[in-house]
Structure 1
Amino acid sequence: MIAVNRSELKEFAFAFIIVFSLMFNSMFGVLAGLVFLAAGILVVILDYGQSLAFCRRHWVILLIPVMSMLSFLWSDQPGKSLRSGFQLFLTSIIAIVLAETIKDDTFLSAAASAMLIAMLMSLFFGRTAINGLTQDVVLTGIYQSKNFLSVHSGLSIFTGLTLMFSRRHRLVFRGLGALLMLTSFVVLIYAKSLGGLVAVIMSVVAGLVVILYLNWNMRSFSRRAMNFFLILAAVCIGIAIVIFVSQGYFDELMYSLNKDPTLTGRTYIWQRGLEFFWSNPIFGTGFQAVFYQGNNVAEDIWEALNFASGAKFNFHNMFVDILIELGAVGFTIFLSVILIQCRRILLRRSIALGSRESYAVFIFIFMLSQTILEVSWFREFSMMQLLICFSWVYLSPHSEIKPIRVVY
């Protein structure tokens, strides 16, 4: 007979409900958001003094959500910026408190269970769409597009991979991780998103290389020299990728492979966006305050790419998007978050495959790979933002946190 720990069961239930609501957000809309908020806020207020202490400890990752919320003060769409910014702020707080309070092995088990349901629903009962270029039937699952499906598939793959190699879980849960990883990979194949597939494979390889490197025993001077070389190499690779994409080589490669590059005209989008950036270079135009009817830049982009006026859209590049919406200040904060995470990873002495730290490394690398062609960071009520915050918390140095006393 298996003994059931009530505390762990409660943690599992909270984590499952929160992850399930975010995985099915596209399907259930407002209802999923309300369920997420109800469960998440309950987790926060159960020990609000401790929750405040957690937020104070991880204040850096909250800077973008706070700035997004405050951007209504200068936004052309103040209501939209305030609402979306506040929702992002709540999402981030709930994610931080959840990552700090729920045991990582409990979260992995609960998240994998919810993700497996979402992947199976997408595979067997999901929607399909016709690729406009190749006329192929592609899987969109329970999500709005194949790209959105591929991101969630990628997050599920890394959750399954970590759970499969975790030594702290029973065999049944490790088998669950293997099943999730296999199912998510099949979903990714059926989505026919070459960019998503490449991002997942490269992130797996890069994550394993990082883990092997950190477990490689070497002198401190040699490690510092290697760290410098790795950072320099990463910068050069990043610049090369930007040039490869911005000069149209990516489109040519996709067309030669009979694949839809998805973002035909992306250089025009970025060009118009960067021109618009100079209208408010310091603080930006406001969070999610560009693509609205009546904005000349938005109307030009919709017309050029044959989209209906008012269609949901973004700049399909995280760096460009945040530069335009939150200006140089927001862009600097975003770069700081990335650099801090890179520094935390490189300063690790060792990381075991299947640990919470390895999970954080995989998630961070995968989300970093999304920045060139997608806007996946800092999305309210999203699985992406939840796991970005988890990655931040899991890579933070361990230290005792004293609850903040609230005096009435």
Structure 2
Amino acid sequence: MKLSKAIFIEPGTNHWYGSVAVSLSVFVFAYSFIYGQPSVLLYYALWLPLILIDYRAVLGNYTRYLWIVAFAVFACLSVFWSDAPRVTARAGVQYASHIVCALIAARTIDLKTLLTGLLGGTFLVLLFSFAFGDFIYDPLDGSYSFSGMFSSKNQLGFFASLAVYAAFAYLFLPSTRRVTKALAVLVGIFGLYGLVMSQSATAIIALAATLLAVIALGCTLFFQPGTRKSFVAFGLTLAIIVAVGAYSLGVVDLILAFFGKDSTLTGRTYLWSEGWLAAEESPIVGLGYQAYWVQGFSEAERLWHEFYITARSGFHFHNTYIEALVELGYIGCALIILVLFVTSLGVLRRVIASPAGLGPLILTGITMMLVIRSFFEIDVMHPYAIGSFLLYYTAGRVAGWRAMGTRAARAAPDWRAYAADGRIHP
């Protein structure tokens, strides 16, 4: 029996394969620290063999990805000056290959398939955590919170927030059955329960801000592209004014108090100051990718001890930019900012300029959530992580849109035209 290539690599046609691949990938991202190498090999087996089917269709013109892979390339090069070259070499190769898989997904998986896979994957992750997980005690604030099978409630909260957002976005897709929408709602409710149980302030605030922004931006789709631009400019200006006013009036402290936090963010401000000091050792190129949190290194051991991290692993500076400064200096920090900025700007411009605004709008929400969380977590800097997979998937889509050119983008059919076959691509 000869199988068609389309069921594996053609967006829309490969819906079932792609949904399963994304779902299993999400599960691997959550629990690879438990199942180790076999789970990672499964992740690679889902994406890399697609290159053998049709490498041109799967990889495309990879020169357009230079701005996307620049950070990963620099991370790999840091092995030459790393304080822990073996750790850096291994992590760098893992991160680079992880990005390749995400870019393959960007070429072969459409938005409907991605959301279906996210719903299935996050449901499995949450179900597994609620079935076998437990509460953990936080010695810094003296509270108990449910963390599932994770070592941090924030990770459980992140997957729960993705479940809620994927369910919210799925409801607006054209040509989806009521049954599947009902299932998406159930997954979203399960995600909300996971958010409440995790008590993750970062996840709740990031999700709330993302949903509000997406709803506001979605209202502009009823207007012409020129009018959308004015609305977006006004909205961004208003958001900056509100944020500055809220900070100056102490609203931020009230919000933190509601979640049981104080102005130190449960020790994170101290951790950030320690990160700035560590970055001064090698401010231009850093200490090497993942070369700081290494067992036996005095500063890492000291911070693990101060924050009661008995496992002596899985810890970071809780800020993407400070982590990048420590590991890869100003150059590395600038490169990760480049990926985040160009990706965010790319999806936003697509929402404004293209008649096919729904798909880019949903991806804008994903990117916005990652950007908000980047000030408190490092979701996009590690291999085999859902945050970095989603970032580079979206970046790959932006690169595809840019290759189409402005004229082709403006001439793209309206998203409602896809209702006949349920596809939203590119």
Structure 1, 264-273 or 19-28: larger mean CA deviation: 19-28
CA displacement, residues 61-114 of structure 1 (integer Å, 9 cap, x when unaligned): 211112112211111011111111111111111111112112332332233222
Asked whether the equivalents of residues 286 and 326 of structure 2 are also in contact (C-alpha less than 8 Å), the reply is yes
2:209 partner letter: M
Alpha-carbon spacing, 1:258–1:94, altered in 2? closer, same or farther (3 Å): closer
Alpha-carbon spacing, 1:386–1:211, altered in 2? closer, same or farther (3 Å): same
Asked whether the equivalents of residues 221 and 357 of structure 2 are also in contact (C-alpha less than 8 Å), the reply is no
Which residue of structure 2 lines up, in the alignment, with residue 315 of structure 1?
317
DSSP 3-state at the match of 2:28: helix
Instruction: Determine if the alignment matches structure 1 residue 223 to structure 2 residue 229.
Output: yes
CA displacement, residues 143-193 of structure 1 (integer Å, 9 cap, x when unaligned): 222111111111222222111221132222222221111111111111122
Residues in 2 aligned to 1:357 and 1:219: alpha-carbon distance in whole angstroms: 17
Which residue of structure 2 lines up, in the alignment, with residue 33 of structure 1?
40
Which residue of structure 2 lines up, in the alignment, with residue 359 of structure 1?
362
Residues in 1 aligned to 2:361 and 2:316: alpha-carbon distance in whole angstroms: 31
DSSP 3-state at the match of 2:147: strand
Asked whether the equivalents of residues 139 and 308 of structure 2 are also in contact (C-alpha less than 8 Å), the reply is no
Which residue of structure 1 lines up, in the alignment, with residue 85 of structure 2?
78
Asked whether the equivalents of residues 352 and 358 of structure 1 are also in contact (C-alpha less than 8 Å), the reply is no
Match of 2:384 among 372, 377, 381: 381
Report the CA distance between 1:289 and its aligned residue. Answer: 0.8
Structure 1, 148-157 or 109-118: larger mean CA deviation: 109-118
Structure 1, 118-127 or 293-302: larger mean CA deviation: 293-302
Residues in 2 aligned to 1:312 and 1:218: alpha-carbon distance in whole angstroms: 45
DSSP 3-state at the match of 1:140: strand
Which residue of structure 2 lines up, in the alignment, with residue 406 of structure 1?
none
Structure 1, 125-134 or 285-294: larger mean CA deviation: 125-134
Alpha-carbon spacing, 1:126–1:351, altered in 2? closer, same or farther (3 Å): farther
Which residue of structure 1 lines up, in the alignment, with residue 278 of structure 2?
276
Asked whether the equivalents of residues 74 and 286 of structure 1 are also in contact (C-alpha less than 8 Å), the reply is yes
Which residue of structure 1 lines up, in the alignment, with residue 422 of structure 2?
none
Give unmatched runs, 5+ long, in structure 2.
1-5, 8-12, 406-426
Alpha-carbon spacing, 1:294–1:237, altered in 2? closer, same or farther (3 Å): farther
Asked whether the equivalents of residues 128 and 137 of structure 1 are also in contact (C-alpha less than 8 Å), the reply is yes
Which residue of structure 1 lines up, in the alignment, with residue 331 of structure 2?
329
Which residue of structure 1 lines up, in the alignment, with residue 145 of structure 2?
138
Asked whether the equivalents of residues 99 and 393 of structure 1 are also in contact (C-alpha less than 8 Å), the reply is yes
Alpha-carbon spacing, 1:312–1:13, altered in 2? closer, same or farther (3 Å): closer
Which residue of structure 2 lines up, in the alignment, with residue 151 of structure 1?
158
Report the CA distance between 1:205 and its aligned residue. Answer: 0.7
Match of 2:219 among 185, 203, 212: 212
Instruction: Determine if the alignment matches structure 1 residue 95 to structure 2 residue 102.
Output: yes
Asked whether the equivalents of residues 44 and 51 of structure 1 are also in contact (C-alpha less than 8 Å), the reply is yes
Alpha-carbon spacing, 1:383–1:216, altered in 2? closer, same or farther (3 Å): same
Which residue of structure 2 lines up, in the alignment, with residue 169 of structure 1?
176
Please give the TM-score of this superposition, normalised by the length of structure 2. Answer: 0.80
Asked whether the equivalents of residues 108 and 159 of structure 1 are also in contact (C-alpha less than 8 Å), the reply is yes
Give unmatched runs, 5+ long, in structure 1.
402-408
2:396 partner letter: V
1:388 partner letter: L
Structure 1, 117-126 or 28-37: larger mean CA deviation: 117-126
DSSP 3-state at the match of 1:24: helix
Asked whether the equivalents of residues 140 and 307 of structure 2 are also in contact (C-alpha less than 8 Å), the reply is no
CA displacement, residues 210-238 of structure 1 (integer Å, 9 cap, x when unaligned): 22245444746x936x6555555666777
Asked whether the equivalents of residues 214 and 350 of structure 1 are also in contact (C-alpha less than 8 Å), the reply is no
Alpha-carbon spacing, 1:395–1:260, altered in 2? closer, same or farther (3 Å): same
Residues in 2 aligned to 1:239 and 1:293: alpha-carbon distance in whole angstroms: 41
Residues in 1 aligned to 2:125 and 2:305: alpha-carbon distance in whole angstroms: 35
Asked whether the equivalents of residues 285 and 324 of structure 1 are also in contact (C-alpha less than 8 Å), the reply is yes
Alpha-carbon spacing, 1:106–1:187, altered in 2? closer, same or farther (3 Å): same
Residues in 2 aligned to 1:267 and 1:149: alpha-carbon distance in whole angstroms: 22
Aligned Cα root-mean-square deviation (Å): 3.4
